[in-house]
Structure 1
Amino acid sequence: MLNKFFRKKKKMISNDLMERKQVAQSQQLPSHIAIIMDGNGRWAKKRTLPRVAGHHEGMKTVKKITKFANEVGINTLTLYAFSTENWKRPKLEVEFLMRLPEEFLGTYLPELMEQNVQVKMMGNIDSLPEYTKSSINKAVEQTANNDGLILNFAMNYGSRDEIVQAVQKIVYDVQEGKVSSNDITEELVSSHLMTKDLKEPDLLIRTSGEVRLSNFMLWQLAYTEFWFTETLWPDFDEECLMDAIEIYQKRNRRYGGLKGEEVN
């Protein structure tokens, strides 16, 4: 009897989510959503589990949200998986995090191929362990011709480091006479960033109640809409993503100007 009740409730939630998705698709969707996936450790602590259990559960959320974002019609999903500062964490936790891409991509790559998802990575990939780098490169190569959702992982990524590298490349080009100092524009800087082939994010989501950017896409987020939630990343589900999209669709994006009705 209880199982029947829960099945009925689950079906009702599923139908409601389907309706919400259809309504959202009839309006302007965010083309690029970036997510700071936070709260794995706290999720585990609340259940008296080791921190790595939270990271493993968070990996399942990545699969779930990627699939749903693809179904909704999102063009790009960028996930902050491992920052340049995360190396400061305990050695065993870092080693576990370095194994997660291998497990995730090894397990879900066939499904990503079926869903026409293209995997991309940004960050200092060369500094990662060989097994991590190998699994990443394999996924990028195998999905290169897919033209569905772009699943972009930020791995060993830090925005300040990214900007420093961009400046170094531009300075080198100036010294080589390829460009002059007068050629340095916002467009030129953007073309030297790791996201040069991607549209800038329309919506940033951060889970777990933290309200900061943590060195994530500082240049690219200049005009992005922010949405923060208390939900821990392992608990973040399709309904949470719909909440964020619906709030985004109610925002008035001015880009420093005014909408027509606000001019008078």
Structure 2
Amino acid sequence: MFESVRGAVYGLYARRLSRRLAGGRLPRHVAMVMDGNRRWARQMGFDDPRVGHRYGAEHLDEVLGWCAELGIQHVTVFVASVDNVRKRDAGEVGNLMRMIEEVVAERLRRPASPWRVHLAGRLDVLPDSTRHALKLAEESTRDSGAPFGLTIAIGYDGREEIVAAVRALLEQEALAGRTVDDIAQTLSVEQIAQRLYTGGLPDPDLVIRTSGEHRMSGFLLWQAAYSELYFCDVYWPGFRKVDFLRALRSYAARHRRFGG
């Protein structure tokens, strides 16, 4: 009885939030740090906290559905940093990579998927099977005509991304016969931005981080310079639609200054 009443109240509240957002200012691009999978599993009483990665991967599918429903054109998700892949326990990393292959990459390749996949990060630090699965998802959706764009940040570090972009620019300009002084005189924000992993994609309007942590952890350091930030206390697998709608409500109520 209690569960049915709670479900009815939750549904009513979600519908009320949706109505308030209808016709309002929604972000074109939402980026999300999907944090707290293992802590959620411990909170739920699982003996093996790595189980949280599967629930987290499954939940991404649901959250992407909310984004598509609201017409959010682009989503970026932070799956794993370079340090996550290199420094965490091998068993945990292997489990996470399997979830990415079996749940995320596989579902995005389905013909009915509304998402075009773009990859951002050091794919060379990933296991061969994970890299292959993600590249296959990217290639198979590139010309699919899908209406929405999904960037998967994996093996990602924002500082490494900026260094790599500057290095690529210097190498290209050097091949063209330009000196360091020449490059310095004409160096621009646009030149670096074009060479980031996300070159050509819109910067995020809103960045959401779950789990209650109030930091960026190297995520989209360049791209999120003028983004609105929203920190949510729930762990990623427990991130509900009402939590998402609250983040959008917060965004709609803010006056974006873009550095001004």
Calculate the TM-score normalised by the size of structure 2. Answer: 0.90
Q: Secondary structure at the match of 1:26?
A: coil
Report the Cα distance in structure 2 between the residues aligned to 1:79 and 1:221, rounded to whole angstroms.
13
1:233 aligns with 2:236: yes
1:250 aligns with 2:228: no
Structure 2 residues not aligned, in runs of 5+ = none
Report the Cα distance in structure 2 between the residues aligned to 1:167 and 1:137, rounded to whole angstroms.
25
1:132 aligns with 2:135: no
State the partner residue of 1:261.
none
State the partner residue of 2:40.
43
Report the Cα distance in structure 1 between the residues aligned to 2:18 and 2:148, rounded to whole angstroms.
16
Q: Secondary structure at the match of 1:92?
A: helix
Report the Cα distance in structure 1 between the residues aligned to 2:27 and 2:225, rounded to whole angstroms.
15
- CA-CA distance at 1:15 after TM superposition: 4.7
Between 144-153 and 29-38, the greater mean CA deviation after superposition: 144-153
1:29 aligns with 2:32: no
CA contact (8 A) 1:201 1:224 kept: yes
**Residue 197 of structure 1, aligned match among 190, 196, 200:** 200
- CA-CA distance at 1:216 after TM superposition: 0.9
CA contact (8 A) 1:61 1:237 kept: no
CA contact (8 A) 1:105 1:139 kept: no
Q: How many aligned positions are there?
A: 253
CA contact (8 A) 1:51 1:93 kept: no
State the partner residue of 1:161.
160
CA contact (8 A) 2:109 2:140 kept: no
CA contact (8 A) 2:165 2:196 kept: yes
CA contact (8 A) 2:106 2:133 kept: no
State the partner residue of 2:118.
120
CA contact (8 A) 1:105 1:135 kept: no
State the partner residue of 2:104.
105
1:223 aligns with 2:221: no
CA contact (8 A) 2:17 2:246 kept: no
What do residues 55-88 of structure 1 show as CA deviations (whole Å, max 9, x unaligned)? 1111121111011111011111111001001021
Q: Secondary structure at the match of 1:55?
A: helix
Q: Secondary structure at the match of 2:200?
A: coil
Structure 1 residues not aligned, in runs of 5+ = 258-264
Report the Cα distance in structure 1 between the residues aligned to 2:112 and 2:4, rounded to whole angstroms.
28
- CA-CA distance at 1:140 after TM superposition: 1.3
CA contact (8 A) 1:36 1:207 kept: yes
Report the Cα distance in structure 2 between the residues aligned to 1:59 and 1:134, rounded to whole angstroms.
18
- CA-CA distance at 1:16 after TM superposition: 3.9
CA contact (8 A) 1:35 1:204 kept: yes
1:20 aligns with 2:17: yes
1:187 aligns with 2:190: yes
Deviation beyond 6 Å, 4+ runs, structure 1: none
Q: From the superposition, tell whether residues 176 and 230 of structure 1 become closer, same or farther in structure 2 (CA, over 3 Å).
A: same
What do residues 164-191 of structure 1 show as CA deviations (whole Å, max 9, x unaligned)? 1111111112212376412210111100
**Residue 55 of structure 1, aligned match among 43, 53, 61:** 53
State the partner residue of 1:141.
139
Partner amino acid for 2:251?
Y
State the partner residue of 1:262.
none
Report the Cα distance in structure 2 between the residues aligned to 1:168 and 1:25, rounded to whole angstroms.
44
CA contact (8 A) 1:120 1:140 kept: yes
